[in-house]
Structures are given as structure tokens and as C-alpha cells.
Homo-oligomer: A and B are copies of this chain.
Amino acid sequence: MTERITASYWIETAFGLQDAAATMAGEQSTGTFVRVPGETDELREAYAARVEEIIELGQVSSPSLPGSGLPKNGNTIRRTARVTLSWPIANFGLSLPNLLATIAGNLSELKAFSGLKLLDIKLPSIFLDKYQGPQFGVAGTRKLAGVYNRPIIGTIIKPSVGFSPEATAEQVKVLLASGVDFIKDDELQSDGPHCPFDKRVKAVMKVIREHRDKTGKMVMYAANLTGEIDEMLARHDLVLAEGGTCIMASLNSIGLPALKVLRAHSQLPIHGHRNGWGMLGRSPAIGMSFIAYQKLWRLAGIDHTHVNGLDNKFCEENDSVIASAQECLTPMFDKPAIGCEIMPVFSSGQSVHQVAKTYAAMGTTDLMYAAGGGILAHPMGPAAGVTSLMQAWEAAVSGVLAHEAAIGQPELAAALGVKR
């Protein structure tokens, strides 16, 4: 195993950038604060992390995070930089849990830094010897959903909690009647005592199968099976037995090893919910970018993941949303050319209003586009809501302005609020 992995970081420090980067490399490979006996030059050459690149970015007026130290030379000016380190795989082997301890580990707590965030990672494709990557990805998901040449239009079961299995199925009936392609559980509802997973899935799948028998359309239902490992495997089996075509898990709740087990067992696409990612991703000064984050989960086997949406109701900027979504569709490896591409899921306040700019930014319809109010609150009803979204996407792909396309398409017109 002579290949290396690289990881890039945003750093903020009052220390010399070379010294600061060397501290990072030392702490996360052979180093300790004091050189110990046995730490020979040969050993350092073979196992030490390397500083590959330092790009200085600018100064800051005050430290972003508390607890940082200042160098003995009296400098108090804090500079920022993008630092890239590399490690030989020989240090940790083909192991995502141990890779994580290496690229993250204690780095965030180093005193030399008043800011340190993991921005990106690059892994060699030898990791595919151990990890399976997405089983379905974009093409497999399209096939199961029977949706081509446009986004998969999705929606979510609301309220998040409180519905009984029967009430959930009633709500799903309403959503099915709208013509939607994809329905997901809320991340807050997995197996609450008043809406147990098994009863909910049986009730929901019954109405989904009935809908299929009537219309020929098999709607994809992402059943939230988040839980302990044995529970998740049993729940997967139930979804499969009920004819379901998707499972969903909260990634931060279950961890990479549990996802690996689920992926190995699963015969269904895994809808990876990133809730809790804000803890890692929101601050520019600490944590992990979604660019790095999603690579770990793709390799471990998710098929879809959430990327927020343009003009969303959360705090994420549009540029960040688009970068995340594009990354999901960008091949992870050069050779072999196995991309591990997954479906980005746009959601949060999405409606016909964001369609044109989403397509302009993405240049593809390989995505899921999930709307709540944009479907249920359509003035002509939920079916018109779904139709209006499809019309908006068709217009965007055809290069027609939404307002022009709305002429003769009353659902889109109503969604856009066009006066007649």
C-alpha cells in the first residue's frame, strides 16, 4: 500500500504557516510534542504525514475560536491559509474509521490554531477493495422510481411526529394522489412508540401498492429505519418484503461502521439524511465541509443525500448548496473510473421559483427535488402542485422562461402567482 491520501484544511494561525502545517502533520502521524526514542529519521520518512501545499489566504483581525496560543516571536497577526497534507495509507490501512481518526482526530484542538476546518479529502480507489460505494446511485434510483429525463419530484410526510401508522398512510394517500415520485419519512420519525416502524411501513406500503396497481406507478418511499444495527437490518427486510424501494437513515446518528453493515445487507437504495451536519459544517472556522463529509458516506454506501436547496429556509448560502450538489455527481476516483455518484436531494422551502436557477447552476436533472408547501399549498391542490413543478423543470430544460411556459399551463401559472 504505497498510495497516499490527501486532506485539505482551512487554517487560521499566528504561527508561521510552514511551522503550523508541520505541527498538523506531526500530530497526526509519527509526532508527539516531544520527540521520543525510537522515532528515527527512517521511520519519519516512511510514516510522517507530508505538507503538500500551503496557499496563504489573508489576515483576520481577531481569533475565530478561543484557546489559541501565540508564538514566542511576539507575532500577533493571524493569517489564514489552505493547507494540504498527505499520509501513506500504510499508516491506517483501508479503514474509514481509522482514516477519520487520522484526518480529523485531535487537529481541531491544537493550540497553534484559532481556526481549523477540514475542507476536502482525496482517496485512492483502492478503498473500493473494502467499501462498496453506492449500490444504486443515480441510474439505479431512476430505474426503481421509473423517472427519466427530469428530476425525481419528492415530498415529505408532515407533521414529523404525532401521526399514527393509519394517519400516516392516509397522509401518504393524499401525497400519492398528487402524482409525486418520491415520499420520505421525517428524520424525527423512525420507530416512535405511537408510530412503530413495522406498522407504519405496512400501512404505508399497502396504499403505495394499491396506487401502483391502479396507476402503474411505483412511488418510492424512503422509510426512516434509523436505529440500532439489528433493528435496521430487520426493518430493511420488512421494507423489502412489503415491496418498498428505498430506506432512509440519519447518518450522524448511526456512524460509518453501521452504514457499512447496512450497505452490505441492503437490496434497496439508501437515502442518507445528513441531519446534524450543521454542527460540523456551519462554522467556517471549525468542523468539516460537506465536500469532505459526503465522500466518506458515499464510499460507505449511500445512494442519495440532502444538500438543502436554493433560497432555503436554513442558513446555508446558495453557492454552498450548489457546490455540495455538484460534488455528489462528481466521480470520486480517477482509476478505476468508478464515480460513486449519488443523487443530490434539494429540499427546504423549494418551489417552482427556484427551478430555473437550480437547473442553470446544475446543468442536469440528475437530482431529487423535494417540496412540501410547494405541493400541498398549491392553490389548485396537490396534484397541480406536482404538475407545476414538472412544468417548471420542463421549461427550464427547454430554455423557456417560466412565465412564458405558464401561458397555457394553468398549474405553473398559479404556482408562480401569475394573474390572469
Contact = CB atoms under 8 A, between A and B. Distances in A.
Nearest to A377: B34
B193 A90 contact: yes
Q: Could you say which of A69, A108, A110, A159 has the most chain B C-beta atoms within 10 Å of its C-beta? A: A159
Interface in A178-223: 187-188, 190-194
B227 A97 contact: yes
Nearest to A228: B257
A43 interface: yes
Given A32-B159, A162-B30, A255-B256, A192 B92 contact: yes
Interface string A211-253: 0000000000000001111001000000000000000001011
Interface string A86-126: 00011111011110111011111111010000000000000
Q: Could you say which of A39, A171, A228, A316 has the most chain B C-beta atoms within 10 Å of its C-beta? A: A228
Interface in A11-31: 28-31
A101 B188 contact: yes
A276 interface: yes
A289 to B, nearest CB: 12
Contact of A254 (B107, B161, B252, B257): B257
A29 B253 contact: no
A304 B243 CA distance: 45
B314 A252 contact: no
A89 B349 CA distance: 29
Interface residues of A, number: 96
A91 B188 contact: yes
Q: Could you say which of A1, A226, A349 has the most chain B C-beta atoms within 10 Å of its C-beta? A: A226
B282 A67 contact: yes
A46 B314 CA distance: 27
A409 interface: no
Given A36-B372, A68-B315, A109-B316, A97 B226 contact: yes
A162 B258 contact: no
Contacts of A111: 313-315
A227 B36 CA distance: 27
Interface in A37-51: 37-39, 43-44, 46-47
A12 B34 CA distance: 40
Contact of A188 (B33, B92, B229, B256): B92
Interface in A305-334: 308, 313-317
B162 A372 contact: no
B276 A101 contact: yes
A281 to B, nearest CB: 8
A167 B287 CA distance: 35
A227 B98 contact: yes
A261 interface: yes
Nearest to A191: B93
16 contacts: A30-B162, A34-B372, A36-B372, A38-B163, A39-B158, A67-B316, A92-B190, A93-B192, A93-B193, A95-B190, A95-B228, A101-B190, A101-B252, A107-B278, A111-B315, A258-B258
Interface of A: 1, 28-34, 36-39, 43-44, 46-47, 65-69, 89-93, 95-98, 100-102, 104-111, 113, 158-163, 167, 171, 187-188, 190-194, 226-229, 232, 250, 252-258, 260-261, 275-280, 282-288, 308, 313-317, 349, 372-373, 376-377
